[in-house]
Amino acid sequence: MTSSRTHIFRLLKWGRTLAKHGALRDIEKHKTTPPQVRRLFRIARLGTIQPKTPNYSAALQAIGPAAIKLGQTLATRPDIIGEEAARDLLQLQDNLPPVAFEKIAEEIEASLGKPISALYSHIDPEPVGAASIAQVHRATTIEGKDVAVKVLRPGIIKKFTADIETYEWAAAHLEAFGGEAKRLRPQLVIANFRRWTMRELDLRREAASASELTEHMANVEQFEIPAIDWDRTSGRVLTLDWVDGIKISRRDDLISAGHDLNDIANRLVHTFLKQAIEAGYFHADMHQGNLFVKADGTIVAIDFGIMGRINRKARFWLAEILYGLTTGNYKRVAEIHFEAQYVPDHHNMEDFATALRAVGEPMRGKPVSELSVGDMLDGLFAITRDFDMETQPHLLLLQKTMVMVEGIATDLNPGINMWDTSGPYVKNWIRGELGPEAAIADRINSDMDTLLMLPDIVRRLDQQLPRQGGAPPPPPVADVELIWERRKPGQNGGFWRYALTAVIAASAGAGALWMWGQNWL
């Protein structure tokens, strides 16, 4: 088990990198930041020269791959890091210098158990993309098929595992401070981050995700997912069909090729809604680098390392929330929040409906260039604190992806109205799923399920079933021993021994830091 000293050493090292990029200043000043965290921030930035304008993206890129992924997750949480930081992190680019091809070749051969010459007739040593977790090379199989070969960076699993352990340690201590830090549930945020990231580090899971999404989207016209070459895929290597198309970010090239950008934008939004609301399984990393447009207008998605899943009950609530906001039915939206237990029962439903109206009304009927889904999420986050709403980790990926899709759609068509685009789809889905025919079918299925459950119900009469909310059961969080719990009876200063280690790690000038730390204590 990693020691607390090691965790503090890492945190102070990362803290100094953040401080050098001005990324600690606003968080330190925020009124909800616990005093203990502010003090550690002061230690971390001691002796640094901070720029006037924070550069959060550059700071996380300088820290390393796990920080880049964490930054992309935090980009959806302006309630935690502030709106300015969230906007900056949305621009975070997951690009790193490539690993030498010799090491990549070793990874391929070791993972697939064959020499490269037995797998591919040609593989380009220059990668077409290099990100924090893996890099991609174009190749041709021995059968003559053009493919893309994705290979994990050597040693990346060990690096991520170590960094995430420190995130878990920090989250546990932050939550233990109570107050606002506890309400934001940082341990659950990191627990979900671990789950998402560990899945992304297993390329067999990514291949399976692509295969499952292909089944869900089989009947969707002009949306495509590359086929997987399972014989050349393992935990560290993924081989799939090569995509010939224009990156969706290259607007001018799309226009030159004769594509209808408005049509592409609308289809992209509908495709995302079909995945999230109808299938309950969606591509959760739909940034511009992962979407291409083929010559016939087909949208092709790649990179299925991060996927989101929403259960059926939560999808019903989500659809009704979206439709309620588009139609101005704030009372129904408020009712759903209370039914899903997103808002505690001691609050007044009418008051919450009024707060929702303040968020929704400014947006209705306006183009996304003026107000957007991102603005709506910011507004919703702003009222969560007033109504004691805890973080819903199962919706974080959805929120992140909604912002991504909106950004791409806006680039393609600056005048698009996301509400007008999504409203009819959501309305039809609700009618199909919640209309009379669907209700009868659901009732039949529900009654049959109840009959099958009767024997088990009789055996469990002595148990009180908990009320169902909108969130699935949370994942287990890391079991972290808090440093102030390590003190033995009669001993003092256990915490400060670790704090001293942190101070020494924070600066080469150990003597000056010690004197400053003594004054602080």
Q: Of 285, 351, 447, 479, which residue is the catalytic one?
A: 285
Q: Distance between terminal CA atoms of the chain?
A: 29
DSSP 244: -
Task: Report yes or no: 35 and 496 within 8 Å, Cβ to Cβ.
Answer: no
Both structure tokens of 513: 């830091």
Is there a contact between 59 and 35 (Cβ–Cβ < 8 Å)?
no
| Closest to 116 measured CA to CA, from 133, 129, 104 | 104
* The Cα angle at residue 265 between residues 261 and 266, in degrees rounded to 5: 120
Distance in angstroms (rounded) separating the CA atoms of residues 108 and 99: 13
Strand partners, 237: 151
Strand order in the sheet with 299-301: 223-224, 299-301, 291-293, 246-247
d(CA 474, CA 471): 8
**Residue 163 annotated in active site:** no
DSSP 302-358: ---SSEEE--HHHHHHHHHHHHHHHHT-HHHHHHHHHHTTSS-TTS-HHHHHHHHHH
Helix (H, G, I), strand (E, B) or coil at 95: coil
What is d(CA 356, CA 329) in angstroms, rounded to the nearest whole number? 10
d(CA 227, CA 354): 48
Torsion, CA 405, CA 411, CA 414, CA 416, rounded to 10: -30
363 secondary structure, DSSP code: G
3-class secondary structure, 183:
helix
The 10 Å Cβ neighbour count of residue 48 is 17
Query: Inter-axis angle of helices 510-520 and 35-45, to 10 degrees?
Result: 160
Q: State the catalytic residues.
A: 285
